[in-house]
Structure 1
């Protein structure tokens, strides 16, 4: 059982507007937590801080076995997961950068599914030997991008054995890159956000670059919504700024500053509908992007600096609430925004990673079955097809085939054509080669075997549903004669 002190400590973290509930916490870091990254399936979390890198199993909330030198390189300042889309073995690795300028790679060891451990594959000293401020991996191309405080931006190719090959290395004069993001497109362009002048630079695969957005002010962190061609930045003097990639400012989300300038991590959530920001006073702010209103405020239970924020918007293994139950079990829940946050200031003792999950509403359940589900998409397709068919039929450009439903009464030996008349039609038996028993030839397009059948057999009757083409006027007269 957990002690009374542990339970009370966890309860100090709370949601002010109850849009999110506290799902649990991860305990083990000593000192500030500076960066977070999660695998695409949401099962593993990598957290970097003053005491090095730790990897967590999100189902059990336990740390996994990592190399013994995890904390000897100093603070971990940037981290990203890497897995190639063309890798049949689904090799999982994590790249992280340190305050001293080392780029390190750990690879998951092969083994049983219930045993997860990592080994160190490589360590590389980045040019400039200064703090690595950003690292990101693109699974579609197998490329890794890195930047550091001296203005160095590097792009690597990562092979199946996790070996790095330099594609370009550029030193930007007078620029301190703070965030780095891959763009969509054939050459997988890079966006680099500058710390002190607020500018955004675009890099191509050959290392050439240009200033995409002339900035003003400072950028503490940034995130990009590529589907909507917009981005957000942490502007310590104002809050969170929302911009178009062409440079136009759309909105500002106010986050108060209480302790002087400190960078705060910002990120999109809910497919770009929500904006999330850390703060210098122990709270995470969740904004509605369209209205700019505060959706919720999440407190970590202290007034410490919250620089590190991570948002998950896919299937995640739920952490049992509050950790009060002695025997707990994680259950899989439907994808909803999950926010992780941790303290980032000078901290003595342990620093917990808090996990909040958005409350599920009745409207969300309906959306899962309609707007975001297959039923809604299927209905859209059916309505579109019906509309097109109606237009074509009434325009005279296309004639629909007549549908004949023929019910055969096995006992009476009589056919009823329900699409034209209720009058009995004499039975005419046919052979397998589509000839009547009398031997007269029947054209294939006028026989059931040439039109496709669906036969429903019951105890005393068989129903045959067939689509018969519209005969021409001449054909009609011949049939009736």
Structure 2
């Protein structure tokens, strides 16, 4: 019908006709342009999401939006352009200087400490692990971390039977916290009135009605339904090695380091029985659901006791060494036990008959959990989670809940900032992370000792690692495979740098040797010897920096900074009596930036002329890490107590401070991607990721 057809001056939705003067814009590119000129911020932001539908014209609108007066418009345009591959987009992003708008984005997953407590939900879907760096909640089927609770140093965790609530506990002061397991939100904190004495053990009854906190001379009893402290019993308990609570919350058993088991009536506070028979400290206790028997592990045996009389009913013998952990199936028909002989034994709990013996390859002791359906059991060492089939003893799944077990020593990034490379602690591995999610991509094995430093080539094809095993390894980024190993250092290697074209590598060790390598052939070109400032100061090479033109090399030891002619391997000049731990060369090759080691706490960053070594200016502050933006305009300075500051490298003025985030912050290791879009800093064994929100 004619009345439904567009007229001469109508703008067709999705069309490219120019809008008439005073006309009503209905849609299309012209409509998006019109909304972009609106005074309403939300309308302008919404229009940005549409312009990519209009090809190159829409792309140009987004690029123009990077220069908008509104920071929110800039950020929205940036987020839409971030992963585009067009060259004009990449150039626009380079000029955009995203570091002006950096914020904390996320932290990588995994513990940086050994797991000390754990729990599995009744449906076997959720695993909770606790360590000194907090509590992490995992999907047990996918091995993905769901969230992190910023709650340090838990010593006990328990999941309610309905899978909705998590209880975590500190031993210090007897504090407990209840969390919504689905959202990670804190529900309530429970703390006894008398918190002068530390709690040594905490346990929750299987029906989740009662929680008990054991101290040296008293026991706190909580009603979890009302979340109230019911009473405190004045009982001398001594230091207990393990505890067990009856399902009705009325009987408590405690194993001690004097090899005895004591049993208390929690209604009266009286000691019911003392069980003697183990010849070493008790490592595991459980009270049967019918409250008639106690199961204990200690020395090399498992013992079954009559709870009422205290008499020994049965002893299971089969381990060659001391039992350190055990678990009982929910139907109380099966018990599995693990000893320091590295064997797991499955028993019939009623008869004591051995049903199977399984070999564990893990070198550390671990905890055991049997799933509620009785099909599987789970072993958790300091960081490895294995799921076993209970019937066959076969491992059906395994994953790591660790980031790096120890503080990260070095970070590097792919040129696009999407992949993070890390090493640290006593860990001989290199880990790869997705900066967009914080999740681990893979773990690379090859070094035989701790990896101390990493550096990536600017073209993103390779990265290089160096280790305490005195070797350097070249890795292919695409295949995540080792390409070659460079051997020649006489001591641990602690510093690396690679030139802009990726052909020359410099490496420094604790003996003061600096080796320069041809990366195309893998051959050593020459060796330089770092000076020793005195006989009393180590001359180890702690940091290296190659100038952008590849003609100069800067190196530092504890009290000496040297600059070399890299082309002929001769010293240009040396600066003595300087406390240096970190050095960088600006992207334009003009400045040499040095900062003292954290141990010296001189709190000074010095900017020098690279050509002459003459000091230009200094920055003050508690410094323990630095890096420079690729455009050479921003100096990022990390401080353990002050967060992160961004200085104008050319003027020395403070540009901005990055707002602290909820996690424990520790700088000292910083890296920024070549495109300037992602900044990373260490957080113990994890990585904090910064960028445009």
TM-score (normalised: structure 1) = 0.54
Alignment partner of 1:76 is 2:451: yes
Compared CA separation, residues 27 and 309, structure 1 to 2 (3 A): same
Q: Specify whether residues 339 and 204 from structure 1 end up closer, same or farther in structure 2 by C-alpha distance, changes over 3 A only.
A: closer
* Aligned with 1:140 (options 492, 501, 506): 501
Larger mean Cα displacement after TM superposition, 215-224 or 19-28: 19-28
Which residue in 2 is equivalent to 1:210?
Answer: 572
Give the superposition deviation at 1:234.
Answer: 1.2
Q: Distance in 1 between matches of 2:442 and 2:614?
A: 47
Structure 1 partner of 2:615: 249
- Residues 582 and 626 in structure 2, CA contact (< 8 A), matched pair in contact too: yes
TM-score w.r.t. length of structure 2: 0.38
Aligned partner of 2:625 among 265, 278, 285: 265
Cα shift readout 1:236-260 (whole Å, capped 9, x = no counterpart): 4033222222222222222137xxx
The offset of 1:19, in angstroms, is 5.1
Equivalent residue for 2:104? Answer: 22
* Of 91, 97, 106, the match for 2:466: 97
3-state DSSP of counterpart to 1:214: strand
Contact persistence 2:419–2:435 (CA under 8 A): yes
Measured against aligned partners, the alpha-carbon deviations of 1:194-216 in whole angstroms (never above 9, x if no partner) come to 222242321333333232x5243
Q: 1:45 aligns with which of 394, 412, 420?
A: 420
Cα distance in 1 for partners of 2:645, 2:514 equals 31
- Which secondary structure does the structure 2 equivalent of 1:247 belong to? coil
Given the superposition, is the C-alpha separation of residues 298 and 135 from structure 1 closer, same or farther in structure 2, using an over 3 Å criterion?
Answer: farther
Q: Which residue of 2 aligns with 1:356?
A: 690
Following superposition, the deviation at residue 35 of structure 1 comes to 0.8
Specify the alignment match of 1:8 in structure 2. Answer: none
Match of 2:512 in 1: 151
Q: CA 1:179/1:165 → structure 2, altered by over 3 Å: closer, same or farther?
A: same
Contact 2:544 2:556 in 1 (8 A): no
> Separation in 2 of the partners of 1:203 and 1:244?
15
Q: Which residues in structure 2 correspond to 1:54-65 (within 5 Å)? A: 54-59=431-436, 61-65=438-442
Shift, 1:306, TM fit: 1.9
Is residue 515 of structure 2 the alignment partner of residue 168 of structure 1?
A: no
Find the counterpart in structure 1 of residue 408 from structure 2: 33
Unaligned runs of 5+ in 1: 1-17, 110-116, 258-263, 315-335, 345-350, 360-481
Task: Provide closer, same or farther for how the CA distance between residues 288 and 170 of structure 1 changes in structure 2, counting only shifts above 3 A.
Answer: closer
Cα distance in 2 for residues equivalent to 1:79 and 1:48: 7
Query: CA offsets per residue over residues 14-73 of structure 1, 9 Å max, x none?
Result: xxxx95322222223222111111122323221111223111233454333344x35x63
Aligned 8 A contact 1:154 1:170 in 2: yes
The CA distance in 2 between the partners of 1:209 and 1:291, in whole Å, is: 29
Deviations 1:168-226 (A, max 9, x none): 123334143222222244xx323223222242321333333232x52432112011114
Contact conserved, 1:146 with 1:154, CA < 8 A, in 2?
Answer: yes
CA distance in 2 between counterparts of 1:61 and 1:301 reads: 16
Is the 8 Å Cα contact of residues 109 and 440 (structure 2) preserved in structure 1? Answer: no
User: What do the CA deviations read for 1:80-121 (whole angstroms, capped 9, x no partner)?
Assistant: 1237x7xxxx8x222101134221222245xxxxxxx41223
Higher relative contact order (Cα pairs below 8 Å, separated by 6+ residues): 1
- Determine the C-alpha separation between the residues in 1 that align with 2:477 and 2:635: 33
Shift in CA distance, 300/282, structure 1 to aligned 2, threshold 3 Å: farther
Alpha carbons of 1:227 and 1:108: their partners in 2 closer, same or farther (altered >3 Å)?
A: closer
Counterpart secondary structure, 1:177: coil
Give the structure 2 partner of residue 112 of structure 1. none
What runs of 5+ residues in structure 2 fail to find an aligned partner? 1-99, 111-402, 533-538
Equivalenced residue count is: 287
Q: Is the 8 A contact 1:309 1:341 kept in 2?
A: yes
